[in-house]
Structure 1
Amino acid sequence: MRLLILGGTEFVGRAVTDDALARGWDVTVFHRGLHAAPPGVVALHGDRTAPDGLAALGQGEWDIVVDTWSGAPCAVRDAARLLAGRAGHYAYVSSASVYQYPSPAGAGEDGALVDGSADAGGDVAYPQAKRGGELAAAEAFGDRALLVRAGLILGPGENIGRLPWWLTRIARGGPVLAPGPRDLAVQYVDARDLAAWTLDAAAGGLGGPYNLIAPRGHATMGDLLEECVRATGADAELRWTDPEVILAAGIEPWLELPVWVPPGEMHDAIHDTDVGKALGAGLRCRPAGETVADTWAWLGQLGGVAPQRPDRPVVGLPPEKEARALGRRSSPEA
């Protein structure tokens, strides 16, 4: 198979590239040259936001294109139009953020969507940018467009900082504010599982939208944080704390305590999604312990400092804020 990956050097794009290379595919990576392309690929350079930025893609044919773009949808539009006659399938890595908030618990692919435009340029809010990207891919490729609506993505290579923050915090040891309930379900997908499913699905000719995240019941906050303790080998004490105590302390869910949101509307939208369609199409998700251990090993290779996307906020709880919250805990087991 001949794969063109638009991006391909960071996190999800790199996971797609690595998976395709492991299959023995011919891989072309189109990127700006800010990060080194992996060995074994054909590297083409260009800036999708610049005039004539797609010139390097003026020639060539591919069986599959994978696009992870999250900026202005017009960049997806231009690439998809350029490649429509020279590529068999276009997989656009979208987001569950395209669903109108709040989406109900257990929602599937037929949920209400935000507005979007394939022609939008400039600064576009993330949900509208991803929806516009979907429309652009579908406009150019029709039923040859695969729309991968990913939820929370974790795993080695993460450049948002969510799982890396938990690992580095727990590695420091001592009492750790663990947001309860301990058995609160969380949904995420390992970037490598996303990559494998996307390539399988595109190669199999699938089109249209698919929610792409681990099934409900795959993991809990307890599973995730206890695996962090196990992977780091740290002398850390998880102090499970009621959501009410955390919120009363002014701690912001999701950003200051990555992955976690309290039970309720936001939790239903983020961590209660129906993925039956993707499971029926072959989605397989590795255990939480494997994702955590491999992310910790990857961090070790980087000296413990994870990369950070400049367009995303830095996540994590300041130590002094954690200490104050620990002093207000209401119960030892939330």
Structure 2
Amino acid sequence: MRLLVLGGTEFVGRAVVEDALGRGWDTTVFHRGTRPAPEGATVLHGDRLAEGGLAELGTGEWDAVVDTWSAAPSAVAAAANLLADRAGHYAYVSSRSVYTYPSPAGSDEDWPVVEGAPDAGATDYANDKRGGELAAERAFGDRALSVRAGLVLGPHENVGRLPWWLNRVARGGPVLAPGPRDLPLQYVDARDLAAWTLDAAEKGLGGPYNLVSPPGHTTMEGLLTACAAATGSDAEFRWTDPDVVAEAGIRPWTDLPVWLPPGEMHEALHGAGVARAVAAGLRCRPVAETVTDTWEWLLSVGGEAPQRTDRPSPGLDPEVEARVLAAG
């Protein structure tokens, strides 16, 4: 397979490139050149938002394209239109954020989506991702695949959710653990997302797929226990009722990454129907493997994960945590 990855130097894109190289695929990476591409890939440089920025994609043919863009849909439209006659398949890594909120537990790819626009500039994340899907579909038709990823974790994470938990648990001592402890979680390891996407591209799959583990792949306790095991920590988890967390002004998802209290938002973000992706071959590795590998990678980069500039750094203020724990 001849593969072109638009991006390919960070997190999901990097996982796609590394998986493709591991398969022996002829892999080309197109990016701005601000970070090194995985060794073994052919590198093309260009800025998708600059005038003439796609010049190096003016020639060449590929069996498949994977695009991880998450800003202005017009950039997806420009690339997809340019490549439509020279690439066999276009996989756009989208997001479950394209669904109208709230989506109930078990909702699948038929749930209504936000409007989006294929030629729009950057607006908000949900509409940008939906616009990217529409741009790919307009250029490639049924050769376009929309990979609607849920929460993505794993090595090279540049949002900081799992790295924050790992570093917090590694420090040990009493840890505010948001309950209930058996709260089901749903996420996908970036490497499992990459493997499924490349398999789907090779098969020529089109249309939307929710790409995240089955609900309850692990629990909040399972995730934190894996963090303690991976780091060798003596952390003492103080399981705290969601009402106590809320009364303290602690924000779910941002102050306490990954976690959402039971209710509407939890159902929307941790309860997606994924039967279609599972039937098409999705396999998700155990939480212990994702957590351990992420910790090993984190240690290899000095303990601090790179942070995307368009996302706030997650994590709970130590003073707030200490105050809540003392009150309990």
TM alignment of 1:280-295, pairs within 5 A: 280-295=279-294
Percent same amino acid at aligned positions?
A: 70
Q: CA RMSD in A?
A: 0.5
Report whether the alignment pairs 1:262 with 2:261: yes
The CA deviation string for residues 133-168 of structure 1, in whole angstroms up to 9 with x for no partner, is 000000000000000000000000000000000000
Aligned residue in 2 for 1:332: none
User: Does the Cα contact within 8 Å between 1:245 and 1:328 map onto a contact in 2?
Assistant: no
Aligned residue in 2 for 1:209: 208
TM alignment of 1:183-198, pairs within 5 A: 183-198=182-197
TM alignment of 1:224-239, pairs within 5 A: 224-239=223-238
- Mapped to 2, the partners of 1:130 and 1:139 lie a distance apart of 14
Aligned residue in 1 for 2:18: 18
Report whether the alignment pairs 1:125 with 2:113: no
TM alignment of 1:1-334, pairs within 5 A: 1-121=1-121, 123-329=122-328
SS of residue matched to 1:62: coil
How far off its partner does 1:328 sit?
A: 3.1
Aligned residue-pair number: 328
TM-score, length basis structure 2: 0.99
- Mapped to 1, the partners of 2:250 and 2:237 lie a distance apart of 17
Residue identity matched to 1:12: V
User: Does the Cα contact within 8 Å between 1:12 and 1:191 map onto a contact in 2?
Assistant: yes
SS of residue matched to 2:313: coil
Residue identity matched to 1:57: L
TM-score, length basis structure 1: 0.98
The CA deviation string for residues 192-234 of structure 1, in whole angstroms up to 9 with x for no partner, is 0000000001100100000000001211001000000000001
User: Moved runs in structure 1, 4+ residues, more than 4 A?
Assistant: none
SS of residue matched to 1:48: coil
SS of residue matched to 1:290: helix
Residue identity matched to 1:316: G
The CA deviation string for residues 54-108 of structure 1, in whole angstroms up to 9 with x for no partner, is 0000000000000000000000000000000000000000000000011111100
SS of residue matched to 1:87: coil
- Mapped to 1, the partners of 2:135 and 2:204 lie a distance apart of 19
- Mapped to 2, the partners of 1:185 and 1:217 lie a distance apart of 4
- Mapped to 1, the partners of 2:259 and 2:327 lie a distance apart of 19
